[in-house]
Amino acid sequence: MRVKCPICAKEVEWSAQSPFRPFCSKKCQLTDLGEWASEERTIPATGKKPSEADQPVDIEEIEAMLSQQQDDFFKH
Ligand SMILES: [Zn+2]
């Protein structure tokens, strides 16, 4: 079975040999994560009160992890 990478539309084999599926590569996977993170940041904080009870995941921890991954990516 083959799927298309959501970032660059390259065909990817859906198997254990493609650890980044549905992305073709780590680069595309990180691109997608980066777009998601930037979209989250551009959403205005007005209108909806953030509730800690609704957020079992630590957002700051995820953002720290993402920025660390991006740092690694840009070093290569
Ligand atoms: Zn790709």
pLDDT at 28: 95
In a domain, 18, yes or no: yes
DSSP collapsed to 3 states, the chain: CEEECCCCCCEEECCCCCCCCCCCCHHHHHHHHHHHHHHHHHCCCCCCCCCHHHCCCCHHHHHHHHHHHHHHHHHC
In a domain, 69, yes or no: yes
Distance 52 CA to ligand 1 centre (A): 35
CATH number at residue 25: 3.30.50.10
Q: Which residues are registered as beta bridge partners of 11? A: 4
Residue listed under structure tokens 């957002």: 59
pLDDT tens track, the chain, 76 positions: 999 999 999 999 999 999 999 999 999 999 998 887 887 766 666 666 666 566 567 778 878 888 887 777 666 5
In a domain, 6, yes or no: yes
In a domain, 47, yes or no: no
Distance 51 CA to ligand 1 centre (A): 35
Distance 27 CA to ligand 1 centre (A): 7
In a domain, 27, yes or no: yes
Q: How many domains are contained in the chain?
A: 1
Distance 7 CA to ligand 1 centre (A): 5
pLDDT at 52: 55
- By residue range, what is the domain housing residue 13? 2-42+56-75
Distance 9 CA to ligand 1 centre (A): 6
Please state, in angstroms and rounded to a whole number, the distance separating the CA atoms of residues 64 and 67.
5
